[in-house]
């Protein structure tokens, strides 16, 4: 019997970590089913998953290409700037928070995929190893009596709900934008003057106005991106300052030494900026 993508997907841990090189567990299962992927690419699944896949496909077992130790994401809440990048990256909605507010991880729902670490602009997320064989820890909510498949089933349910929510949000946003565009066109149609006689100069003027508008939009988008980058850089500096202040009070000797060096540099930079502003005002 030929193994199907669904039967292979059932063997995977459903962390959606992309360590296999595919966009998720199901794409990897589809690649296994069509023979384009090796049986040993699932890092969180380790040897047990590799052997189950090899047995189902009738292939020779291989040493796991990589083994991922079970770990749960942890956010340094004092350094978090509330950018929501980790929330958008989490495939199972295991991070709570809002824009400009502190974020935190729902530990029982974290699958340990690690996808939230790289997008964090202030490097305030760590993966902390846990003593468990299977994640998420809320696997008792799954529909299987076997811990491994209960964990995978619960993680898959969370991922599917996350995907449905994303699709719904995108559809609602598109509907809102379409409705807004239709309302704008309706208002323009109501207020538009009666059509005048054809004038070639009108076409030229419209073309020039359109080109000017496009140029303005490009400049505005560029300025907006530059402003966002400046804001992000300022947020990073504030997070570094808060971290140094915290380490000076609660850190070990090494952390206190590093914090003291940073605070001295920070003070020197602030004094230099103040002196520069005084010099400009004097001229």
Partners of 128 in beta bridges: 72
Given a cut of 70, whether residue 274 has pLDDT beyond it is yes
Region 230-250: mean pLDDT is 83
Distances (CA, A) of 221 to 11, 102, 218: 46, 28, 5
The tens digit of pLDDT for each residue in 3-51 reads 899 999 999 999 999 999 999 999 999 999 999 999 999 999 999 999 9
Non-local CB neighbours of 133 within 8 Å, separated by 6+ positions = 70, 147, 148
Check if CATH label 1.10.15.40 holds for domain 5-57.
yes
CA distance 164 to 96: 18
Residue 205's pLDDT is 82
**Region of poorest pLDDT, from 70-84, 109-123, 129-143:** 129-143
CA distance 238 to 234: 6
CA distance 222 to 273: 27
Q: Share the mean pLDDT of the chain.
A: 88
What percent of the chain stands above pLDDT 70? Answer: 90
The tens digit of pLDDT for each residue in 158-174 reads 999 999 999 999 999 99
Helix (H, G, I), strand (E, B) or coil at 74: strand
Residue 219's pLDDT is 57
Question: Whose structure tokens read 């459903």?
Answer: 14
Distances (CA, A) of 81 to 11, 73, 88, 143, 276: 38, 17, 15, 37, 29
Region 45-73: mean pLDDT is 95
Rg (C-alpha) for the chain, rounded Å, is 27
CATH hierarchy code of domain 71-159: 3.30.70.20
Instruction: Reply yes or no: is the peptide bond before residue 136 cis, omega within 30 of 0.
Output: yes
Given a cut of 50, whether residue 1 has pLDDT beyond it is no
Query: Distance between the two ends of the chain, CA-based, in angstroms?
Result: 85
Pairing type for strands 71-75 and 125-129 reads antiparallel
Higher pLDDT, 191 or 248: 248
The tens digit of pLDDT for each residue in 176-218 reads 999 999 998 888 888 765 555 567 777 788 888 887 776 665 5
């Amino acid at each position: 019997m030929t193994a199907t993508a669904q039967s292979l997907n059932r063997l995977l841990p459903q962390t959606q970590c992309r360590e296999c090189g595919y966009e998720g567990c199901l794409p990897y299962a589809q690649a296994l089913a069509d023979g384009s992927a090796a049986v040993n690419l699932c890092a969180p699944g380790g040897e047990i998953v590799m052997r189950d896949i090899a047995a189902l496909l009738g292939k020779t077992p291989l040493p796991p290409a990589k083994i991922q130790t079970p770990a749960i994401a942890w956010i340094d809440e004092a350094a978090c700037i509330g950018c929501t990048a980790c929330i958008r990256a989490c495939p199972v909605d295991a991070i709570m928070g809002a824009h400009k507010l502190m974020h935190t991880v729902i530990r029982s729902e974290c699958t340990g995929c690690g996808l939230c670490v790289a997008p964090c602009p202030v490097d305030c997320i760590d993966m902390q190893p846990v003593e468990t064989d299977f994640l998420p820890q809320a696997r008792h909510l799954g529909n299987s009596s076997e811990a491994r498949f209960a964990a995978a089933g619960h993680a898959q349910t969370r991922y599917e709900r996350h995907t449905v929510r994303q699709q719904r949000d995108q559809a609602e946003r598109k509907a809102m934008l379409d409705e807004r565009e239709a309302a704008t066109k309706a208002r323009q149609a109501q207020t538009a003057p009666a059509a005048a006689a054809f004038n070639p100069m009108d076409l030229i003027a419209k073309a020039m106005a359109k080109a000017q508008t496009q140029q303005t939009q490009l400049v505005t988008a560029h300025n907006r991106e530059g402003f966002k980058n400046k804001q992000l850089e300022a947020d990073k500096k504030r997070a570094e300052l808060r971290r140094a202040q915290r380490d000076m009070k609660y850190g070990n000797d090494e952390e206190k030494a590093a914090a003291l060096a940073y605070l001295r540099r920070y003070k020197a930079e602030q004094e230099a900026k103040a002196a520069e502003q005084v010099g400009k005002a004097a001229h």
